[in-house]
Amino acid sequence: MVCLSLHQEWQNKARQEIIDVFGTQELHFEGLKHLKIVTMILNEVLRLYPTVVKTLRETHKETKLGNMTIPSHVNIIISIINVHHDPEIWGEDAQEFKPERFSEGIANATKGRSGCFLPFGGGPKICIGQNLAMTEAKAAIAKILQRFSFELSPSYKHSPSAVFSLPPQFGAHLILQKI
């Protein structure tokens, strides 16, 4: 909601898509699958503000990674936040909120390196709840956008605080207006 408050044009695009799919009626699962703009927005938010900023993995056997050989039982910290903000992967605008980068899917957004988008981890330890989380996020944002518009309060101070995740250090002060 913070990103949509900062980028009203995307809030309006998402609301229009939700109205086109559901109108003012109740949400249904089939309709949630057709929310392409909302999905692009959620992916971009998860890229900029991943659910977890880093993850730890351990090699179980000697592993070749590029031109390096990593011995068995070495812990590797993967900085998801750095991968998600890397200009070599995402372009020079990697720090900017641009949901359109996901308009042709994750593989195109990462220039064929889909392993570089890790909002729910990756590989055999990927979050088993990722589909449920995305469905719930779509439903929540759809319910909110059907009924409200919102903007940032003048008291809002943008300050993501990297702990385990990236919560806003001083909260997310929003002003909601019923539509």
Burial of 41 (0-12, 13-18, 19+ CB in 10 A): buried
What is the SS3 string spanning 58-119? Answer: ECCCCEEECCEEECCCCEEEEEHHHHHCCHHHHCCCCCCCCHHHHCCCHHHHCCCCHHHCCE
What is the distance between the alpha carbons of residues 157 and 173, in angstroms, rounded to a whole number?
8
How many other CB atoms are found less than 10 A from the CB of residue 121?
18
Consult the annotation and say whether 3 binds a ligand.
Answer: no
* 61 in Cβ contact with 69 (< 8 Å): no
User: 70 forms bridges with which residues in the sheet?
Assistant: 63
Annotated binding site for heme: 127
Indicate the annotated binding residues: 127
